[in-house]
């Protein structure tokens, strides 16, 4: 059956163009041109850095214990008190 | 198969596929796009050799890229031929004479003008089949159509194109 379409394959040959060496060189360097490959590598570093930062922050929060929350709560109360006093005077 | 071998084998074929689809200006860039996607898909393990050939897989991506870019295809602005430097497409053949290269260029121009008269499925199938190595099975697989349907589309495309080209002095 393919023989029925042989003339089409010949036509394909007739209109074929040869890419330049520069084009082929660009296509060959695709894995190095696309940043996806290198980004994957750098993502590991970003992930590791984020993990270390997360551990340090977590450690600080746990070590501070309820005091840190107390400080936050106190500031909040003070702000509200100030606001109340300010608006009522 | 290493990357360089894949590029050497598929590069010129994909490049010519995009030309046949009318992307005369962007064929090299679109081929680059296919290789970027192909590399990523192979890295992710998306290509399964048991399900089909690498050729069919790559041309499936190429077809998708062509469809994505179809609105900007240069196929429909070939009337203003002077704007396009055909030498940028690379040589037709190093061993051919200047006259032979010119003839090939004229045939390509004529082909790109006449293919517009086919419907989109016929264009799709024909431009894939003109590839030197793609078989009907490959096309059927990448277009998700039965082989019989591909054959009948191709037959109709061939008959129509034959009349059109023979009127312009190109035998098919």
Predicted pLDDT at A37: 38
Joined tokens for residue B154: 């191709």
Query: Does any CB of chain A come closer than 8 Å to the CB of residue B12?
Result: yes
**Which of B7, B19, B111 lies at the smallest CB-CB distance from A28?**
B7
Joined tokens for residue B106: 């004229």
Predicted pLDDT at A76: 66
Predicted pLDDT at A39: 45
Please, which contacts does A32-39 make with residues 24 or more away whose CB atoms are closer than 8 Å? A33/B32, A33/B36, A34/B36, A34/B39, A34/B40, A36/B36, A36/B40, A37/B39, A37/B43
d(CA A76, CA B86) in angstroms, rounded, equals 73
d(CA B18, CA B98) in angstroms, rounded, equals 24
d(CA B60, CA B26) in angstroms, rounded, equals 18
User: Torsion angle, CA of B25/B29/B33/B36, rounded to 10 degrees?
Assistant: 160
Predicted pLDDT at A42: 57
- Mean model confidence pLDDT for chain A: 75
Predicted pLDDT at A7: 87
Predicted pLDDT at B79: 43
Predicted pLDDT at A71: 72
pLDDT band at A86 (very low <50, low <70, confident <90, very high): low
pLDDT higher than threshold 70 for residue A36:
no
d(CA B61, CA B65) in angstroms, rounded, equals 6
Ranges of chain B with pLDDT below 50: 76-77, 79-80
**Which of A4, A13, A20 lies at the smallest CB-CB distance from B90?**
A20
Higher pLDDT, A50 or B109: A50
pLDDT higher than threshold 90 for residue A5:
no
List residues of A whose CB lies inside 8 A of any B CB.
1-2, 4-5, 7-9, 11-20, 23-24, 26-28, 30-31, 33-34, 36-37
């Amino acid at each position: 059956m393919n023989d029925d379409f042989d003339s089409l394959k010949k036509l394909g040959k007739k209109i074929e163009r040869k890419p330049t060496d520069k084009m082929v060189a660009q296509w060959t360097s695709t894995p190095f041109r696309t940043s996806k490959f290198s980004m994957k590598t750098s993502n590991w570093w970003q992930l590791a850095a984020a993990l270390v930062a997360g551990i340090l922050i977590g450690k600080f929060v746990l070590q501070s214990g309820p005091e840190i929350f107390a400080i936050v709560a106190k500031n909040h109360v003070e702000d509200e008190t100030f606001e109340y006093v300010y608006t009522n005077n | 198969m290493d990357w360089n071998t894949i590029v050497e084998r598929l590069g010129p074929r994909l490049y010519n596929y995009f030309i046949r689809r009318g992307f005369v200006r962007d064929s090299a860039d679109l081929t680059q796009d296919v290789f970027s996607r192909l590399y990523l898909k192979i890295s992710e393990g998306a290509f399964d050799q048991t399900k089909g050939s690498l050729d069919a897989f790559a041309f499936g991506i190429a077809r998708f890229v062509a469809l994505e870019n179809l609105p900007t295809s240069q196929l429909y602005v070939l009337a203003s031929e002077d704007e396009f430097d055909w030498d940028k497409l690379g040589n037709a053949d190093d061993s051919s004479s200047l006259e032979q290269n010119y003839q090939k260029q004229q045939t390509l121009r004529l082909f790109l003008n006449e293919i517009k008269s086919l419907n989109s499925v016929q264009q799709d199938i024909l431009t894939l089949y003109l590839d030197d190595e793609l078989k009907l099975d490959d096309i059927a697989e990448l277009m998700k159509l039965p082989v019989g349907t591909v054959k009948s589309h191709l037959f109709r495309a061939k008959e129509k194109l034959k009349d059109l080209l023979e009127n312009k002095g190109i035998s098919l």
